[in-house]
């Protein structure tokens, strides 16, 4: 700032000139102040617009995330959970482009936050889970061929490094021969021979272990019989699909008392959940080759019930009379 002159020493013309300069400075400062006020107002408006834009983009991002979740459900969910054709046309093909544009805009507005999240994601690397302790362990030691150092001294073992590999041994078929010796008395010609143990299928080649494997593969692992046949064929065992079907039918007859006992236990519970699932029935050997529709009714106890059980009942329709017949006499 310039030093103010001594007004008492100025002439009349100098005072007029000094007054004129002060007026010009005041006018310039007033204009600068107006410009600063306008700039502040402009920045406030711009800030409000940016806040509105961020809020709008956040809402759009939530909307597109919801739509993307629905598309993932349509693509990866079970068939009975897929969207209908009309629901699919609610969104056009430009959704992915819109999502990319919104993500890019949000990344620009929140660059620091995005970089911090990226750095955190890089540091959080997944850790490999240890193998279960109940697995059978085979120890394979790798030691040097010689325990003598190149300098001539004897090496001393100071520790070891252990790395684990998960090994798999495919299932193997083997023959189980039952040999029953024949014993005869030379005095009275009495013949003695030990009886064969009881089997699910008398005079059949399938052991209880093999029958259990076929049942679990079909009903627990959902492996059809024709695929099981191909698996057994690769192992050098020829088992036709009709043979496997006959085994399952025989096992069903033997397991029927157990199923009836399980049904009695389920019907003793106060609360039950019931649901029916449609299935396709292929009727082999009939003139009508068109697949039929059936239903598998499931009756299950609640998750808080001390008795955890599920009983299945196959019927040819979804009629409520099947449930009424199954639950006849149930008090709950």
Output the pTM of the full model: 0.55
Boundary (domain end) residue, out of 213, 248, 267: 267
Last residue within a domain, chosen from 242, 267, 292: 267
Same domain, 107 and 32: yes
Could you tell me if 313 and 221 lie in one domain? no
Residue 261 lies in a domain: yes
In a domain, 184, yes or no: no
- Does the residue 173 lie in any domain? no
Q: Assess whether 29 and 82 both reside in one domain.
A: yes
| Structural domain containing residue 247 | 202-267
- 112 in the same domain as 23: yes
List of the chain residues with pLDDT < 70: 1-5, 77-98, 112-125, 283-289
Report the domain count for the chain.
3
pLDDT computed for residue 283 by the predictor: 66
| Chosen domain end from 267, 287, 303 | 267
Please check whether residues 240 and 332 belong to one and the same domain. Answer: no
Domain contains 113: yes
Q: Are residues 31 and 58 in the same domain?
A: yes
Burial, 206: exposed, middle or buried (Cβ in 10 Å; 0-12, 13-18, 19+)? buried
Q: Verify that 42 and 29 share a domain, yes or no.
A: yes
Residue partners of 67: CB distance under 8 A and separation at least 6: 91, 95
């Amino acid at each position: 700032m310039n030093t103010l002159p001594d007004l008492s020493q100025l002439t009349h013309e100098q005072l007029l000139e000094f007054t004129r300069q002060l007026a010009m400075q005041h006018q310039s400062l007033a204009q600068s102040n107006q410009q600063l006020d306008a700039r502040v107002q402009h920045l406030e408006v711009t800030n409000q617009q940016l806040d509105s834009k961020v809020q709008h983009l956040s809402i759009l991002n939530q909307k597109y995330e919801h739509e993307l979740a629905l598309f993932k459900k349509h693509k990866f969910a079970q068939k009975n959970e897929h969207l209908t054709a009309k629901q699919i046309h609610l969104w056009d093909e430009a959704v992915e482009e819109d999502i990319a544009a919104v993500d890019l805009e949000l990344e620009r507005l929140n660059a620091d936050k995005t970089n911090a999240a990226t750095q955190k994601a890089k540091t959080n690397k997944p850790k490999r889970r240890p193998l279960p302790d109940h697995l059978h362990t085979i120890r394979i030691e790798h030691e040097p061929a010689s325990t003598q150092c190149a300098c001539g001294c004897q090496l001393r073992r100071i520790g070891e490094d252990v790395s684990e590999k998960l090994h798999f041994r495919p299932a193997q078929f083997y023959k189980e021969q039952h040999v029953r010796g024949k014993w005869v008395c030379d005095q009275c010609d009495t013949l003695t021979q030990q009886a064969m143990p009881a089997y699910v299928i008398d005079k059949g080649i399938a052991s209880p272990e093999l029958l259990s494997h076929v049942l679990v593969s079909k009903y627990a692992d959902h492996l059809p019989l024709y695929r099981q046949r191909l698996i057994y064929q690769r192992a050098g065992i020829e088992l036709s699909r009709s043979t496997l079907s006959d085994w399952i039918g025989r096992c069903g007859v033997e397991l029927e008392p157990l199923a009836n006992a399980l049904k009695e236990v389920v019907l003793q519970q106060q609360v039950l959940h019931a649901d029916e699932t449609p299935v396709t029935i292929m009727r082999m050997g009939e003139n009508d080759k068109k697949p039929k529709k059936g239903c598998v009714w499931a009756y299950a106890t609640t998750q808080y019930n001390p008795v955890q059980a599920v009983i299945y009942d196959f019927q040819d329709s979804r009629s409520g009379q099947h449930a009424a017949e199954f639950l006849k006499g149930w008090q709950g």
